């Protein structure tokens, strides 16, 4: 065999564009749901398959890895884009800026990396913990089991708490009971697992609040225009989708002398708005009354107040419809993207 023929480095000199997604459990399902809802459905042939396609963006190769491995892949450049928890990104992003966060709040996968101790400990705060450690004659340093050594160590150092980290494979929650460690730093969502294991998070022990984020290899964005263009398309979909999910299209029939009069009555109501102002169209009734249909966009949290405000100015028959996307004039994060490169 000719030596020149074989080169295991070819995988690095690739021309495809790659997006890595979480390969397991709740985060995988939530990510696939999120993307599908945003119009970016992933075709994953079967659960054992680690490669997939995204029909809406045929130029993209989708692959599945563990979250921590996604971050390393993007950092090293073997993958261009990744979606993972902020916890994984912050733990492994390194110090050299290889990773650029494109969207820092995809609004799912919320959890916190938190310090927890056995319930029977009389310690609830970091300052209490720190004073305990410093004033007594220590038999052994505080041992903290975690799968997030970098974030945990930095956090404890910043609070002046001497410690040693215990690396652990899993089921961290049982570590204090076994005596494997004194405390743990682990991801917490509902807190039920902590309670099941008689642990309690410190009151000010949140190391990091996390949710799913979207990020890219900075060098790929800079050097490959097709990667930058895909980043913008993905951001357009994601931003428009997230904004669309927060709003309803609201149409009401309103009695009133003129479109102008109706609009003015509406402007007087603090709970009515719309992206710019109401759209108005005439309604023709059998009885010959004067009505107008008004259309506004309302934030979901303000729906009931908005309905009541419409009623207050003569609205009835309020029809509320779902919105898939709202595209604004210029997506903010796409703007920032150019600046950050």
- If one asks whether residue 300 binds its own copies (CB under 8 A), the answer comes out as yes
For its own copies, which is the closer residue by CB, 77 or 101? 77
| Backbone phi, psi, residue 33, to 5° | -65, -45
Contacting its own copies within 252-281 (CB under 8 A): 253, 259-260, 263, 267, 275-281
How far is 79 from 17, CA to CA, in rounded Å? 8
- If one asks whether residue 225 binds its own copies (CB under 8 A), the answer comes out as no
Least distance in angstroms from the C-beta of 9 to its own copies:
5
Contacting its own copies within 79-98 (CB under 8 A): 79
- If one asks whether residue 68 binds its own copies (CB under 8 A), the answer comes out as yes
- If one asks whether residue 298 binds its own copies (CB under 8 A), the answer comes out as no
304 CA to centre of own chain: 27
For 225-257, b/e burial (b = at least 16 CB within 10 A) is eebbebbbebbbbbbbbbbbbebbbbbbbbebe
Strand partners, 213: 84
Q: Quick one: which of 95, 257, 270, 284 contacts its own copies (CB under 8 A)?
A: 284
Least distance in angstroms from the C-beta of 216 to its own copies:
16
Query: Residue 142 gets which letter from DSSP?
Result: P
Least distance in angstroms from the C-beta of 65 to its own copies:
6
User: What are 248's two structure tokens?
Assistant: 């309803």
> How many of the chain's residues bind its own copies (CB under 8 A)?
114
How far is 247 from 159, CA to CA, in rounded Å? 42
Query: Residue 275 gets which letter from DSSP?
Result: S
Q: For its own copies, which stretch binds (CB under 8 A), given 45-53, 95-103, 151-159, 213-221?
A: 45-53
Contacting its own copies within 170-209 (CB under 8 A): 170-171, 174-180, 182, 189-192, 196-197
Tokens 């259309």: give the residue. 295
């Amino acid at each position: 065999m000719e030596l020149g023929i074989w080169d295991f480095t070819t995988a690095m000199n690739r021309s495809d564009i790659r997006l890595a997604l979480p390969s397991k459990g709740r985060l995988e399902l939530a990510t696939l749901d999120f993307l599908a809802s945003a119009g970016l459905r992933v075709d994953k042939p079967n659960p054992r398959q680690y490669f997939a396609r995204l029909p809406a963006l045929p130029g993209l190769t989708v692959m599945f890895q563990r979250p921590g491995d996604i971050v390393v892949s993007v950092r090293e450049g073997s993958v261009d884009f990744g979606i993972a928890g902020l916890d994984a990104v912050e733990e492994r992003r390194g110090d050299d800026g290889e990773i650029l966060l494109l969207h820092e709040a995809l609004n799912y996968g919320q959890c916190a990396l938190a310090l927890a101790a056995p319930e029977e400990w009389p310690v609830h705060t970091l300052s209490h913990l720190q004073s305990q450690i410093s004033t007594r004659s220590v038999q052994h340093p505080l041992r903290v089991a975690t799968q997030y050594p970098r974030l945990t160590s930095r956090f404890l150092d910043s609070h002046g708490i001497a410690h040693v980290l215990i690396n652990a494979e899993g089921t961290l929650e049982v570590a204090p009971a076994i005596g494997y460690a004194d405390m743990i730093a682990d991801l917490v969502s509902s807190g039920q697992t902590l309670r099941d294991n008689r642990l309690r998070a410190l009151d000010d022990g949140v190391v990091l609040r996390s949710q799913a984020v979207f990020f890219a290899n900075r060098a790929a964005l800079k050097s490959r225009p097709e990667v930058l263009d895909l980043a913008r398309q993905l951001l357009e979909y994601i931003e428009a989708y997230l904004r669309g999910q927060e709003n309803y299209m609201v149409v009401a029939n309103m009695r009133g002398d003129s479109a102008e009069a109706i609009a003015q009555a509406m402007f007087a109501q603090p709970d009515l708005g719309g992206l710019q102002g109401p759209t108005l169209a005439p309604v023709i009734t059998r009885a010959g009354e004067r009505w107008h249909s008004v259309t506004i966009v309302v934030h979901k949290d303000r729906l009931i107040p908005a309905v009541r405000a419409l009623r207050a100015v003569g609205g009835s028959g309020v029809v509320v419809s779902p919105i898939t996307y709202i595209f604004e004039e210029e997506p903010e994060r796409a703007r920032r993207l150019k600046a950050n490169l």
